[in-house]
Structures are given as C-alpha cells and as structure tokens.
A and B are shown apart, each in its own frame.
Chain A
C-alpha cells in the first residue's frame, strides 16, 4: 500500500542524480505491496507497540527551517567529536566540515555522486520501513574509506529531525547512512539523532556498514530525540575476513525507540563487538533487536545489551545468534541485563540461538529485575542510605556498559546524558 500522505509526487520531487530517482521509484513500487508490520505478525515485531503506528499521522518532512536546529546540530557535532562534522537536517545534508580527512576519503552527500551510485541497499534487508526510507530519504550520508586509508579523528554525523504541532500530519525524516571500508582501512563514525524536545515526529533511520577485509570500524549511534518522536531504526553490517567491527547504540529519547542491529560475519576470522544501552522513563518503549549471523569460520561476536526502565516505561530485547553451516569454530556471546527501577515498569528479554554447526562456542545470558538485594545490602552495610546505594548501583550498571563505547569522544557525552536522566529518576527525596 502506498500511504496517502507519502505520494509518488513527494518522492519524485526530492530530485538528485538519476540513480537516486531510480532507487526511489523502485521503492515506491515495492511499497505498493508492503504493509506496516503488526506485533503478532512475526517474531521481530513481537511485544512492540507497532500496532499503534498510523502512517497517515505523518508526511515527508520539508527542508528544515530555523536557525535553532542549526545551532543545536552544530553544538552536538562539537560535543561528540573533535571537528569532523556532517550536519543533516530533515534528511538533507547541509554541511560537511572535513578538516583532517584524507583526500581519498569520500565524505558527504550521496547526491553529490553524480557519476556513479553509492552502494545503498547492499547490506540491509527489506521491509516496509526500509522501503519508506528508500522512497523518501532526500539524500544519504556516505563515508567511503579506500583500502589502507586510516582516518584518525572521529567523523560525527548529526541528524537533526524537526517535529510538528499536535494537529495534522507530523514530519517524517529518513536519515540514511552508508559507511564503507576498503581492505585494511580504519575509521570511527558517531551518528547522533536529535530534534526538538516538544512535538511529534517519525524518524526512520537506516544505516549500512560494510567492513572490508582486515578493516576496522568503530561505530556509535546515539538516539536522543524528543519524547514525542517515534524512531524506527535499522542498522545492518557485514564484516569481512579478519576485520573488526565495534558498534555501540544508545536509545535515550523518543516515545517509541526501536533499533534493529543485524551483523553478518561474512569473513573468516572476523570479530564483532555489539553493545547496546537504553534508559526508559515516563511511557517510553525501547525496543532492541539484534542478529549475530555467523556465516564464516572462526568468526567472533560478543554482544552486551543493558538497559533500565523506570516509571511506566517498557523495554524489549530480542536477539538471535545464528551460526550457519560451515561457520566452524565460531564464538558467539549474547548478554542482556535489565534493571526494573519501578514496579510499574516492565522489561522483556528474549535471547535465541539457532546453531547449524557443531564445532562452535555459543553462550547467552539474560536477566530482568530490580537492583540486586545483595549489592544493595553490601553498600548499605558500609553506611550508605538505600537511596545512595541504589543511585551508585544504577550509575555503575550504566558505567559498565558506557565504558564499552569504542569512540572515546562519545563516552563523556553519553555518560552525561545518562547521568542527567538518572538524577531525575533516582534518589527522589532521598536521605544522604
């Protein structure tokens, strides 16, 4: 079905080089047959509030206006990095500061690639939201690092997504990113999704990471949208022979925050570290889905996902380790821990294994519950009040995971945001 608020006219008006128009037209054709998913339709949407999703409540965002967003985006770029910044507003690349980036690196708008198409869609699978992004993303951010090229400083991509007033369709933004590393290349990329605190919006980010043989990619995605946004994101990666991917995703903002991370270990000896963190309050829903797909021998993946839910918020973690036939001596680990800070909050944790090979090592662990009684007792036995003990334990719970951020410049901003959110949720009226 093509939703009435997302028309072919809207799509074709986005312009760009012919290869982009062709891609969009193709996506509109796919949308004719795709429908928004339902929570009981498949495992990957189970427990999600997607049944509440009304595509007609949104329309494609217009080019961003106002200097407020521009200043905020610049500030985020400076906060999370050291100077290399790409600013994207409502899906349009508006600024690229590339001082310090080797000339051979392609960094910027896909629409500036007139002669050849960017390899968009080569990694991510298809579904209604990917097709919507394909059809209505005005542009894409492309980071292409050629073989043996190393970019030392982190590249920060800030996606500023505007919101709309309560009445009428709210703006929908379609951030799109492709990071492609040639053989033995190295780069660090931070993406920040942000927008105004107030108002509604739909944000459908799609990121694709192609890590070539022996290449090294560190990747951080921080979703810090306003609490009226629905963010339905997909991140997909392929990791080549002896290559290393370290990804870190943080879900902080949004009313509904979904982040699906699919990593395919395609190369012999590849190594992947996947980290995910979320913090829910109010009526937020955080929804993390992961796939560790081992298709090559001796591939390693290590996933740690930790989150806390407070007040009436909810979280879903569902992850699958898949080891395909032939991926001998693969080593996959999956850990999900959830802190439930209030009795009205709820967390679901669903780890899964699908192993087709014998000679492998796979493990998973998951937990859901309040702050551990033993930990609390231990700190209280040192004279800390229950409020102070809980605060330290919860901050520590997050510190333990934030420390895994593979990009140093993102660690302090992440810690700051989580700390600020927790200050409001913990130790309310507590005695020191």
Chain B
C-alpha cells in the first residue's frame, strides 16, 4: 500500500463548497505514481466538485482538509502553482479561448515546467496518438470544436505537458467507442512511460470497460462510500448507487 509514501497525490479529509453549499464532506484518496483510480458516482454526488477542488477552480472553495502533490501541500495554492507541482485536469467542458492557438498555450505550459521549448514533434505525436486533427493545433483553443475534439485536445495536452498526476473529469462523455479506446490506451501508456498517476471521475461504467483501473471508489453525497477493485463497478451495475445510503 501507499502508507507513508511521499510521492503520491494525497487527498485528506477534503471539504469543499460551491455557491455557499458544502458539497464535499470529507474525502480521502491517495493515488500513487503509475496507478489508475476511478471515482464513480451518480449525478450530483460531488465528483466534478472534487475535480475542481483539486485544481483550484475559482468558485469552488476548500473549507477543510488538505491536498498534497508529493511532499508539497497545494491546498492553498492557485491553479498555476498546482499545475507546476505536477497536477493536470482534463476538463469535462474544455473552455474556448478565442484567438489563442493551442500550440502557443502548450509552448508556454512546457516553458513554465522548465522543460525544452522544442515541442513541435511531441505535439504532432500526441495528436496522432489520439486522433486529434493536426490542423487544429494552430487554431484557436477549442473554438468551433466538437465535444469529442475537445476531449481529444485535453488528452493531447496531457501528453505534451506530462504531469505527475492527471484528474480526468468525465473524459468519456462526448467520445465514441473508438475515441474512448484511443484515450484510454494513451493514458495507460503514460502510467508506465513516466509513471503518471490517474484519478478519473465518471458516472458511466463504460470508461472502466476501456480503462484498466487499479482502484475504484464509489462517491455518494459528497463522500467516498466504498473502495475496491474493478469488480466494484460490476457490482454497481446490478445493485445501483441506491444500495449506498446517502448519509444524513
């Protein structure tokens, strides 16, 4: 197990609110390098709030607990500091930035991580790996892109930026089976390539049919109510989330 390790993404007793309402009531999770964790839960269970709280999105306020990337406590840090600590979020709804080319964002992102600025080859490779149209690299970020293209774009960026830990928020929505498979293969490859740790949140089991998970967590009512292996997802298929009583 990971007890005592100092190279993990560690979430301890995390409480967070959005719009003045507490959504997360104390979440504990730990993802080690190279591991794939999937958080499943029904709509409204707090999965997206968890993703936003981890990345520090404005409007989501952490009211208790801690988030650590390796030895660094990032709980009070702005998003860009968390990113530089090695955290990455693939957004459920990637954002349009008119006039700003994908390539320019990636160049600045890689420069910010103090790596080589020569990334053209990497961008091309990563785009090819998940079927992201290369022409879109020199167009404005997410402008006029379909939902599926936006998701591919997120994973392409993940491959270029090479974070230590990636949070994937509903990465399966908007992707057809082939695209989802390509995304899953790319993410899995990253776990061995540079030891990427993955925390994927979803409410569909479909993701688990493509992405090989080490651990599955069930989230209901802002708490993790069960942990297990991939077999947990199969159980959910028959029992549903209703089996997990929503805590008062």
Contact = CB atoms under 8 A, between A and B. Distances in A.
A427 to B, nearest CB: 12
Interface in B158-204: 161
Contacts of B55: 381
Interface string A360-373: 00000000000001
Counting chain B CB atoms within 10 Å of each CB, the highest count among A378, A382, A397 belongs to: A382
A375 B95 contact: yes
A396 B80 contact: no
Interface stretch (A116-124, A139-147, A383-391): A383-391
B109 A382 contact: yes
Contacts of B161: 382-383
Contacts of B95: 374-375, 377-378
A392 interface: yes
A91 to B, nearest CB: 37
A376 to B, nearest CB: 8
Contact of A378 (B78, B91, B98): B91
A398 B99 contact: yes
**Contact-residue size bin, chain A (C-beta under 8 Å from the other chain):** 20 to 34
Given A381-B79, A382-B83, A392-B104, A432 B97 contact: no
A380 B113 CA distance: 12
B112 interface: yes
Main secondary structure on chain A at its contact with chain B?
A: helix
A25 interface: no
A403 B112 CA distance: 28
Contacts of B104: 392
Contacts of B79: 377, 380-381
A395 B88 CA distance: 25
Contact of B108 (A377, A381, A388, A401): A388
B247 interface: no
A278 to B, nearest CB: 16
B105 A384 contact: yes
B228 interface: no
Contacts of A400: 98-99, 140
A348 interface: no
A320 interface: no
B11 to A, nearest CB: 17
Nearest to A379: B105
A432 B80 CA distance: 11
Contact of B89 (A381, A384, A396, A398): A381
B57 A377 contact: yes
Contacts of B157: 382
Nearest to B95: A378
B78 A373 contact: no
Interface in B71-89: 78-80, 82-84, 88-89
Contacts of B101: 396
Interface of B: 55, 57-58, 78-80, 82-84, 88-89, 91, 94-101, 104-106, 108-109, 111-113, 140-141, 157, 161
Given A377-B95, A382-B83, A396-B100, 12 more contacts: A375-B95, A375-B96, A380-B79, A381-B80, A381-B83, A382-B161, A383-B80, A385-B112, A396-B98, A397-B99, A398-B99, A432-B112
Top 6 closest pairs, chain A to chain B, by CB:
A396-B99, A400-B99, A396-B100, A383-B83, A399-B99, A383-B112
6 contacts: A381-B57, A382-B157, A389-B80, A392-B97, A395-B99, A395-B100
